[in-house]
Structure 1
Amino acid sequence: MERRHLQYFVALSEALHFGRAAEKLGIATPTLTVQIKDIERRIGAELFKRDSRTVSLTPVGETLLHEARSILQKFALAEDLARRVGRGESGRIEVGFVGSAVHTGVLQHHVWTFREQVPGVELLLTERPMHSIPGLLQEGALDIGVVRPPLDFPDTLESVPLHVDEFCVAISSRHSLAHTKSRVKPKELSREVFILPEQSAGTWEVARRGRFTPSCQPCPGSLIAVLGLVSIGNCIAIVPSVLMESALVPGVVYRGIAGPPIRSGLLALYRSGDPSQAVQRLVAQMRGEHQRDESDRS
């Protein structure tokens, strides 16, 4: 039985008149009569009582009417959902992000903007270890990943810049360098113990510029954990400068690094050619915001 058979049956059940039902359906009355007989033949029972003047539902017809309306409603909902998904107005997007992404406010901005514009799409956000994000994207466990480069990722992934900042040094408020407002020269840090955050590129660049091999401790987890160890005074850390405003931890002060800025930033990664219209809409929003920011800076 096809969808049209249910539509014919429901139309006649509501009109209880072959002529009026056929007119509503836009078909000839004899055609409707043939279709109803075909349905009854398939079911093996009469759906309507007919005489020269009236048409009424049989008990079997009344039972089928309830189910037919439910099925047609589900058809309509499925069609509407498919259309909205096709337009990127419905669905779900899995976003994985590196912890430092929330400190810039950029991720929150894109989430709020997208939810306002496309309320039918569910955004699920989870903090992930940065080096796991490319693999999770390839596996389909994530749709978009927000990372802090440099980071190697395969050619099957594309990227959109989200934010640009630079690295600074986080030190204990009891450290001798905490009492100066001037930028710290890399060579002044040669005798320090560094704790490596998840993105350690800034640390290695500071060591390269200062011409020393850093003494390092492994990353303890999140940036807040890194700053917690810095506050105790046993080590320092090279971290994104956005933390100067967003992570005011007791016992921690931040200082700029002398010399050319050691650039940092955020990228959004996504699968090349992702068929999801919802993902494409979010990526387009991110790209548009970045292009406007670049235009404003120029």
Structure 2
Amino acid sequence: MPQVEIRHIRCFVCVAKHLHFSRAAEELGIAAPSLTRQIQEAERLLGVRLFLRTKRSVALTAAGEAYLAEALAALEHLARGEERAERAERGELGRVEIGYVASAAYAGVLQNTVRGFRREQAGVNVAIREVAMDRITAMLCDGAIDIAYVRPPMDYPEGIQATTVYRDTFVLALPADCALAALDTVTPAQLRDRRFALPEQDYGTFEVARRGRFAPNPGPRPGTLAAVLACVSLGGDVAVVPNTLAQCITLPNVVYRAIAGKPIPSEVAIAWRRHERAPAVRAFLRYARKCAASEDDR
């Protein structure tokens, strides 16, 4: 069954505004006879008369008065819908699912970026959750998360892209009562006989061992960096951890010492789907990269 269309409603509202067909037709950019046909068609579809017309005047009928309020509300609702669609296309509305490995949170880059983006794009719902590093790529590929904060190096599938957003260096976490704790700087070779508690990202540990020309003696692999430090605190184990940890986590019986030689880089990166289409996700990526560039310029 044919129904009143938006074109009919726009014509009706314009005539109701001017109560003059010629002026309404001029505003709408159509010929007066065409406007008359639109109104007649609307009246036929609705089954009521909307206007009382004489050669000298145009007035709304009771049905027209009642219909006008709803017609205006409908057009206002459509205008809001158009605005929201445009905002969504610009990435100002939507949802972004962010996964992060626990160690990335210690650097502060995750918090700073998310808080800043939320201030700029209040219409985007940003959800964050901690995930295990070995699940990151699968969750990105499956769409379970849109963006991941990770600690490279790590292997990415062909469809995943990553960029560094924070740069740090590795330091050594030692039991406070071990002999090496008396030193300000520890050489890699001095760690030859030590047992290492291994974090999720063990690159720093194996790079220290490579520089010291020994194979590391792996101890527990408890997962998060906080759990790694707990192993060190309990005595016996040492750990290679990002320097940011030394600045924000203090545990009994744990001290941090510099590693001699060229600094070993410890980075935080964001990873995402290479052909991401969601405007809100792309907007977050632009913001994150802009923040990273600002940090690099300092």
TM-score under structure 2 length normalisation: 0.85
Q: Which sections of structure 1, spanning at least 5 residues, go unmatched? A: none
Once structures 1 and 2 are overlaid, which stretch shifts more, 152-161 or 226-235? 226-235
Contact 1:207 1:214 in 2 (8 A): no
1:77 is aligned to 2:80:
yes
| Whole-angstrom distance in 2 between the partners of 1:54 and 1:291 | 63
Residue identity opposite 1:273 in structure 2: H
Q: How does 1:63-74 map to 2 (within 5 A)?
A: 63-74=66-77
Instruction: Give the percent of matched residue pairs that are identical in Structure 1 and Structure 2.
Output: 39
User: Shift of the alpha carbon at 1:20?
Assistant: 4.2
1:167 corresponds in structure 2 to 170
Residue in structure 2 matching 1:107, options 110, 117, 133: 110
Deviation, structure 1 residue 24: 3.6
What's 1:137 paired with? 140
Give the AA of the match of 2:118: R
The correspondence of residues 117-136 of structure 1 with structure 2, limited to 5 A, is 117-136=120-139
Map residues 141-220 of structure 1 onto 2, 5 A cutoff. 141-181=144-184, 183-210=185-212, 211-219=214-222
Count of matched residue pairs: 292
Q: Verify the 8 A CA contact 2:173 2:241 in the aligned structure 1.
A: yes
For the residue of structure 1 that corresponds to 2:170, the secondary structure is strand
CA contact (8 A) 1:95 1:143 kept: yes
Measured against aligned partners, the alpha-carbon deviations of 1:116-157 in whole angstroms (never above 9, x if no partner) come to 444443332222222222222222222221110111111212
Distance 1:58 1:66 in 2: 12
Pick closer, same or farther for the CA change 1:194–1:75 going to 2, 3 Å.
same
- Over 3 Å counting, the alpha-carbon distance change for 1:216 and 1:229 in structure 2 is closer
Give yes or no for contact 2:196–2:216 (8 Å, CA) kept in 1.
Answer: no
Is the CA contact (8 Å cut-off) linking 1:160 and 1:283 kept in structure 2? no
CA RMSD across the alignment: 2.6
Equivalent position of 2:286 in the other structure = 284
Aligned to 1:55: 59
* Contact 2:99 2:149 survives alignment (8 Å): yes
2:258 equivalent in structure 1: 256
Question: What SS class does the counterpart of residue 124 from structure 1 fall into?
Answer: strand
Deviation at 1:239, TM superposition (A): 1.1
1:131–1:151 Cα contact (<8 Å) kept: no
Task: Kindly state the Cα deviation for residue 295 of structure 1 after the two structures are TM-superposed.
Answer: 5.5
Q: In the aligned structure 2, how far is the partner of 1:62 from the partner of 1:229?
A: 77
